[in-house]
Amino acid sequence: MTNLKIVLSVLVLFNVFSLSAQTRKEINIPNIPGYQTLKCDFQMHSIFSDGEVWPTVRVQEAWREGLDVIAITDPIGYHPHNKDVNEDNNRSYEIARPLAEQTGIILIRGAELYRQMPPGHLLLLFIKNANLLRRENWGEFCEEVKDQGAFLFLSNSAEQTSSSWFPEQIRLLDNSILKGVEVYKHDRYFPVAGNMANEKNLTILAGSDIKGPSGLEFPEGHRPITLVFATGRSESAVKEALLKQRTAIYFGDTLIGNEKFIVPVFKNSIEIVNNNIILEDQGVKQIRINNKSDIPFYLHRRQPSVGFSCPEDIVLKPHSTTAVELYGLSGELNQVPVLKLFYIVKNILTMKGKELSVDLGIPNE
Amino acid sequence: MTNLKIVLSVLVLFNVFSLSAQTRKEINIPNIPGYQTLKCDFQMHSIFSDGEVWPTVRVQEAWREGLDVIAITDPIGYHPHNKDVNEDNNRSYEIARPLAEQTGIILIRGAELYRQMPPGHLLLLFIKNANLLRRENWGEFCEEVKDQGAFLFLSNSAEQTSSSWFPEQIRLLDNSILKGVEVYKHDRYFPVAGNMANEKNLTILAGSDIKGPSGLEFPEGHRPITLVFATGRSESAVKEALLKQRTAIYFGDTLIGNEKFIVPVFKNSIEIVNNNIILEDQGVKQIRINNKSDIPFYLHRRQPSVGFSCPEDIVLKPHSTTAVELYGLSGELNQVPVLKLFYIVKNILTMKGKELSVDLGIPNE
Amino acid sequence: MTNLKIVLSVLVLFNVFSLSAQTRKEINIPNIPGYQTLKCDFQMHSIFSDGEVWPTVRVQEAWREGLDVIAITDPIGYHPHNKDVNEDNNRSYEIARPLAEQTGIILIRGAELYRQMPPGHLLLLFIKNANLLRRENWGEFCEEVKDQGAFLFLSNSAEQTSSSWFPEQIRLLDNSILKGVEVYKHDRYFPVAGNMANEKNLTILAGSDIKGPSGLEFPEGHRPITLVFATGRSESAVKEALLKQRTAIYFGDTLIGNEKFIVPVFKNSIEIVNNNIILEDQGVKQIRINNKSDIPFYLHRRQPSVGFSCPEDIVLKPHSTTAVELYGLSGELNQVPVLKLFYIVKNILTMKGKELSVDLGIPNE
Amino acid sequence: MTNLKIVLSVLVLFNVFSLSAQTRKEINIPNIPGYQTLKCDFQMHSIFSDGEVWPTVRVQEAWREGLDVIAITDPIGYHPHNKDVNEDNNRSYEIARPLAEQTGIILIRGAELYRQMPPGHLLLLFIKNANLLRRENWGEFCEEVKDQGAFLFLSNSAEQTSSSWFPEQIRLLDNSILKGVEVYKHDRYFPVAGNMANEKNLTILAGSDIKGPSGLEFPEGHRPITLVFATGRSESAVKEALLKQRTAIYFGDTLIGNEKFIVPVFKNSIEIVNNNIILEDQGVKQIRINNKSDIPFYLHRRQPSVGFSCPEDIVLKPHSTTAVELYGLSGELNQVPVLKLFYIVKNILTMKGKELSVDLGIPNE
């Protein structure tokens, strides 16, 4: 009659995330002059709130999906699994951190706070201790946010979009506590939030807000991403960039941000190959535009070029080359050293929600 | 100064698995005469052992991936998350069950037991109470297995493959406790286990043994599946089929099982379209074979046909039609009513591990 | 010193279309009661007019792409390759026919006639001799069309869409020469043509009008297709169906046709799996809808159901199962034997260009 | 009664290859120091021999598939379409050239000669007039090849592979007429040809030998390609590179060539990202290898590293990042500035047919 001994030693291996069997799909969005373009997701949950995965899964998913930076933002005090799971709000970070270090993912300590409107749901990054943020008293909470040096931004929901600024939010702004707004959450775009950010010079962010495995929530396409233009690949560089509004958001095929950043993202994404033919009257000059990024660009001509015609619409598919034909309409063309084309990019929006204007100059020699 | 009230009511919705945004990809493997072909996974873990997902995730994944039946088999007494998660072995079933009912997934109450070799790891299905199986005394454990009417089968590992039957295993067999063996686990095939099952007339099974999200563990292709040939779509029909060895296993492109089941699976997967041409000496008759299943079939000619030639190798891609040309080599062909072709299917194996022989008869009129 | 002898014998093989290395991708659109649903393309060119491929290529492409019936419709008298290629309008059919017979593709002898508007471009099917249709005199041409028993239909172009019936076209109608109109050509939909067909009870058709290889002209998605609801798989059955207006057209994800045909196509494409739960007040009943066809269906609720709510929009992806949840809102529901849902299918249009209304009845037991 | 006038003017447009609706998929294989890596196909047929497409189709296909250089090599004197198509061997080049110039494809004037073994089929590039090469007398043919300054190489077939050099071939070598051998044709690899090239210092080439549309002959994956390492993007640079043996061949996932070229192709395809952790005894250092090319690389460890262990097999999927973990096994590791790993790349072969050895050096700081 044998005793029931449980074999544990060999099993430890089973639980290790075997990176060697995994591949990471990089997100191809180029760096811009002076900055690295980090791909970040600043809103997601784990089993320690209403999420459905162990914290390390968030790191594995981030690694596979090509992210550089994540924050697990389990809501403080909201814990539907509390019958079965410990209610310590620091655990998700503590558990995920070793795998983040091993895989090179920058893990930001974060949290969420579910408040009634106003001020509504709040997201916190770069905190030091999530449990200390669990305060009944709002003033004490604000003090604690300041003490921890946290970056606080508004999460978004239906109520927030229908309105403008609330006094409570203004007070957070005046006290230098509120520093950003989430313009895209999970599968919803909040244009009002973009206007609010633009008006008050706040940082814009996007978050997946995933509860289940990311592959179940985004079975096709990528999750919403915050692009952070950072001086380096470190937590402090990410914080500095967030505090200086050096972000853009990327969801579906849409990119939204300040022109300082989205123009160079577009320009560095494409390469124009010129075929050495001089465009002359009645002649044809073909150029090739190679889009090296993951983002398709939908160009629409916003005004005619001088002396030649060009297509009304151009689609630059990702990782593809598109041929663009220019037809000469003027006898003076062969003296024009640079042919200028004037387009908007329909799926890149500025902070004011307008389609980005881009000018392309083609050497004519 | 406002008090910090947490808004809970609206949030409940967030945690609901919104099936309306989800699609299920059916696994196309046909039914066979008298039986439905149920697609099952009988080995997986949740957060309540060394798994990394909340139990409901297992149901969501099963629904999306086209499975009909699953069992969450958290190992009894092995609980690396016990610092944070409740150690009750009945919880995973209790938590997952409502979603299983809602989505029509048949959820079998299961468990695993990590025992040293021999007898090694054991898997249990159709149990009544997992916590009662946590016994120090082996005899008591066996009694409890019998009392609960459980279906017990051997999980597989490196040690087991190198060996034959152990006395402890034989004893389980003699006591009618051991009823099956796992022939494929996660990403490993154990041919020895197939032989053991064949020798003792045991049920063969396959299991994914997933700990993390299934999409992270099987980013390409399908997880290993047990096909159960059941008289209906119910837990009792699944149990009856398992007790009568009506299973096959399906991993990668490989199908393994008793010829009683795998021959009709193959025959019902394909449809031969005949073009009404009579094959004559020196003539050509083209047939089309349409493979309606998800499994490609790699056919290799095992002996020549009489009076005509046919291709040495035929690949029947899934969801595609393949043209096969027969060339007449005999003057008596136009009197042959049925042309017979003799092939093996290289990726279908019998219980003895041999490639399945199939004969195709083509009407010649 | 050796003489330069060209080795020809072994080379003949090189030119044979090796079907054994090819697979055919069936187009999954179901048959309807009483009729087979044949997939047809009635407009395409070869090297013998302004096309860019040898006639046999059209058969190979049709075979691979799952078509059942094609017509090569080289325009009579238009031959830009005449410096290099023979100008015989019967050659494309003669050359393609043996491969069509070998592969089971039904090859209809066809032609096109480029006429100025009115009456504009004309397409001809089931002709006997294309060269005899090359007449300078219009009256003689019409006689010849009648003599050959041809099925003549209007090809479409920008000019035709902007207008209504021309006297010349009316005359063709009155003389029972004009029998159909092309409602979709290559990549353009002509809604006016649909109205014209509806008004005069004409057959509707779609054509790819491919000149180059079909894979270059339709690198993504399928070419436009005419669905013919035929009593069998033969040229005469196709002709009979065309003469009796038993067609529908299928381009992109859109299906257009008479409700007599498109309703059963839709109904036979989907299978509703009912989960045996009786819907009661405040209860939930989930059904699964399995779409077995290649066409996604975009359903939109056109009126509320009585006693329960159902989703406003349902997307039935091809070869996928979608879950649909019904919520009980009335105490009398458990006495309702069939739950009725009222939708339109946004991508199926009737002959009048309206979105198809469909009613779904779900047994409630 | 109207006369039958054919409308031609508007139709001209139909025949134009509309590049604006087309995208080109670049082949991602990097340049190497000093040379551009041009992607070339030097064997294909058109309607002017036994091919099945108009010559311009070859340019369209090349453009779409990311090729830089092609030669249409219609066999001289072999013309199965001669009943319908003109027998002028210069026509394919003349017809294709304008589109090649418009699209930037470098079109090499080429031809093939079907000779019995020995010397067998011959391919010619950079010829001036294909018709002048049609000589009954072998000596005259050789003179003409020299006069035209053609680059002549052996095409391959079953007969050639079974044998070594024939006297006729040796004579061509001695007369400086024969300059290369085709090592891969359509779907067959001829290792013997690689040895022959290596022995005699000849240029290696690969050719698709397509007759039908390239999409029908290579429905999956890419056609076989000759990589030419050229000083620029011009016909003369291609010729110079071919004469100096600066080529490699690429078929399926396999790359074959001189180590001078394939080592830098491999090194420029990958980027190793180091995580700043110093590997110490019993420690782990993870590196990421990013493969930016289209080619997967299958690495196998050929000898152990000193002081640490590394994976036996590494698969570097295309356009993906792979994590590689190194485990410290020596106390002196923290004084080792560069960790050396020793692998072979199983799918890159040298001119001698051996798997390429590569050493990876990882900074340890």
Q: Check D286 against A103: CB less than 8 A apart.
A: yes
CB-based contact C263:C257 (threshold 8 Å): no
Kindly provide the residue ranges of all beta strands, DSSP E only, lying in C202-264, ordered along the sequence: 203-207, 225-230, 247-251, 254-257
Predicted confidence band of residue B108 (pLDDT cuts 50, 70, 90): very high
- Measure the CA–CA gap between B90 and B78, rounded to whole angstroms: 14
Q: Examine the pLDDT at B161 and tell me if it is beyond 80.
A: no
Phi, psi of C193 (to 5 degrees): -65, -35
Which H/E stretch holds residue D200? helix D191-200
Predicted confidence band of residue D335 (pLDDT cuts 50, 70, 90): confident
**Which two structure tokens, joined as six digits, stand for A308?**
């030649």
Average pLDDT in the B123-138 region?
A: 95
- Measure the CA–CA gap between B185 and B45, rounded to whole angstroms: 13
How many angstroms separate the most distant Cα atoms in chain A? 102
Beta pairing partners, A44: A210
Check residue D15 and give its pLDDT: 31
> Distance from A226 to chain D by nearest Cα, in Å?
21
Q: Check A56 against B57: CB less than 8 A apart.
A: no
Q: Examine the pLDDT at B354 and tell me if it is beyond 80.
A: yes
Check residue A152 and give its pLDDT: 97
CB-based contact B321:B290 (threshold 8 Å): yes
Check residue B334 and give its pLDDT: 83
Predicted confidence band of residue B115 (pLDDT cuts 50, 70, 90): confident
Between 2.60.40.3090, 3.30.70.20, 3.30.300.30, 2.30.130.10, what CATH number should domain D265-363 receive? 2.60.40.3090
C9 Rama class: left (phi>0) / alpha (psi -120 to 50) / beta: alpha
Nearest to D141 among C4, C17, C212 (CB): C4
Nearest to D184 by CA among D210, D165, D205: D205
Note whether A touches B: 3 CB pairs or more under 8 A: yes
Classify residue B47 by its DSSP letter. Answer: T
Q: Examine the pLDDT at D184 and tell me if it is beyond 60.
A: yes
DSSP for C134-175?
--SBHHHHHHHHHHHT-EEEE---HHHHTS---HHHHHHHHT
Check residue B167 and give its pLDDT: 85
Average pLDDT in the D214-225 region?
A: 94
Q: Examine the pLDDT at D41 and tell me if it is beyond 80.
A: yes
Check residue D117 and give its pLDDT: 73
pLDDT, tens digit, for every residue of A46-58?
A: 999 999 999 999 9
Q: Examine the pLDDT at A206 and tell me if it is beyond 60.
A: yes
CB-based contact D189:D255 (threshold 8 Å): no
- Measure the CA–CA gap between D345 and D365, rounded to whole angstroms: 27
pLDDT, tens digit, for every residue of B255-295?
A: 999 999 999 999 999 999 987 788 999 998 999 999 999 99
The residue of chain D nearest to residue C46, with distances taken between CA atoms, is: D53
Q: How many CB atoms lie within 10 A of CB B284?
A: 13
Q: Examine the pLDDT at A27 and tell me if it is beyond 80.
A: yes
pLDDT, tens digit, for every residue of D45-70?
A: 999 999 999 999 999 999 999 999 99
Kindly provide the residue ranges of all beta strands, DSSP E only, lying in chain A, ordered along the sequence: 23-24, 36-41, 69-72, 106-113, 122-125, 151-154, 178-185, 188-189, 203-207, 225-230, 247-251, 254-257, 270-274, 284-291, 297-303, 308-309, 313-316, 320-328, 338-349, 355-363
DSSP for A280-335?
-TT-EEEEEEEE-SSS-EEEEEEEPPSSEE--SEEEE-TTEEEEEEEEE--TTGGG
**Which two structure tokens, joined as six digits, stand for A198?**
């633009």
Nearest to A354 by CA among A262, A270, A268: A262
**Which two structure tokens, joined as six digits, stand for D11?**
């139709």
Rounded (5°) CA angle B349-B353-B355: 45
Higher pLDDT, A122 or D120: A122
Domain boundaries, chain B: 17-252, 270-363
Cα-Cα end-to-end distance for chain B: 92
**Which two structure tokens, joined as six digits, stand for A47?**
């089993």
Q: Examine the pLDDT at A19 and tell me if it is beyond 60.
A: no
Q: Check B212 against A60: CB less than 8 A apart.
A: yes
Check residue A3 and give its pLDDT: 36
What share of chain A has pLDDT > 90, as a percent?
A: 79
Q: Check D136 against C3: CB less than 8 A apart.
A: yes
Q: Examine the pLDDT at D4 and tell me if it is beyond 60.
A: no
State chain D's mean pLDDT as an integer: 90
Per-residue b or e along B231-264, where b marks 16 or more CB atoms closer than 10 Å to that residue's CB: eeeeeebbbebbeebbbbbbbebebbbbbebbbb
Residues of chain C with pLDDT under 50: 1-19
Phi, psi of C212 (to 5 degrees): -85, -175
Q: Examine the pLDDT at A333 and tell me if it is beyond 70.
A: yes
Check residue B13 and give its pLDDT: 30
Nearest to C53 among D48, D53, D84 (CB): D53
Nearest to B322 among C23, C317, C325 (CB): C23
pLDDT, tens digit, for every residue of B205-249?
A: 999 999 999 999 999 889 999 999 999 999 999 999 999 999 999
Check residue C47 and give its pLDDT: 97
Check residue D256 and give its pLDDT: 97
Domain D23-252: give its CATH superfamily.
Metal-dependent hydrolases (3.20.20.140)
> Distance from C234 to chain B by nearest Cα, in Å?
12
CB-based contact A86:A49 (threshold 8 Å): no
Q: Check B52 against A54: CB less than 8 A apart.
A: yes
Q: Check B81 against A11: CB less than 8 A apart.
A: no
Class of B270-363 per CATH?
mainly beta
Question: Can you give the three-state secondary structure of D206-272, one letter per residue?
Answer: EECCECCCHHHHCCCCCCCEEEEEECCCCHHHHHHHHHCCCEEEEECCEEEECHHHHHHHHHHHEEE
pLDDT, tens digit, for every residue of D186-213?
A: 999 998 888 889 999 999 999 999 999 9
Beta pairing partners, D32: D35
Check residue C127 and give its pLDDT: 98
Check residue A22 and give its pLDDT: 78
Check residue A20 and give its pLDDT: 52
Check residue A161 and give its pLDDT: 54
Check residue C158 and give its pLDDT: 58
pLDDT, tens digit, for every residue of A131-147?
A: 999 998 999 999 999 99
pLDDT, tens digit, for every residue of A167-185?
A: 888 899 999 999 999 999 9
Q: Examine the pLDDT at B8 and tell me if it is beyond 50.
A: no
pLDDT, tens digit, for every residue of A70-105?
A: 999 999 989 999 999 999 999 999 999 999 998 999
The residue of chain D nearest to residue C220, with distances taken between CA atoms, is: D22
CB-based contact D212:C57 (threshold 8 Å): yes
Q: What is the pTM of this model?
A: 0.92
- Give the mutation candidate from B1, B2, B58 for the A interface (greatest A CB count, under 10 A): B2
Q: Examine the pLDDT at D334 and tell me if it is beyond 90.
A: no
pLDDT, tens digit, for every residue of D312-330?
A: 999 999 999 999 999 999 9
What share of chain B has pLDDT > 90, as a percent?
A: 79
Higher pLDDT, D1 or D253: D253
CA Rg value for chain C: 24
Check residue A222 and give its pLDDT: 96
Using a CB-CB distance cutoff of 8 angstroms, which residues of chain C are in contact with residue D6? 77-78, 114-115
Q: Using alpha carbons, list the distances in angstroms from residue C14 to A145, C9, C99, D212.
A: 77, 10, 15, 10
The third-level CATH classification (topology) of the domain covering B17-252 is TIM Barrel (3.20.20)
A318 in contact with B, Cβ within 8 Å: no
Q: What ipTM describes this predicted complex? A: 0.91
B neighbours by CB contacts (3+ pairs under 8 Å)? A, C
Nearest to D103 among A103, A322, A323 (CB): A323
Helix %, strand %, coil % of chain D (to 5):
25, 35, 40
Q: Examine the pLDDT at A157 and tell me if it is beyond 80.
A: no
Check residue B21 and give its pLDDT: 58
Q: Examine the pLDDT at D119 and tell me if it is beyond 90.
A: no
Is the domain covering A269-363 a CATH 2.60.40.10 domain?
yes
Q: Examine the pLDDT at D75 and tell me if it is beyond 60.
A: yes
Class of C15-252 per CATH?
alpha beta
Check residue D3 and give its pLDDT: 36
Q: Examine the pLDDT at A162 and tell me if it is beyond 80.
A: no
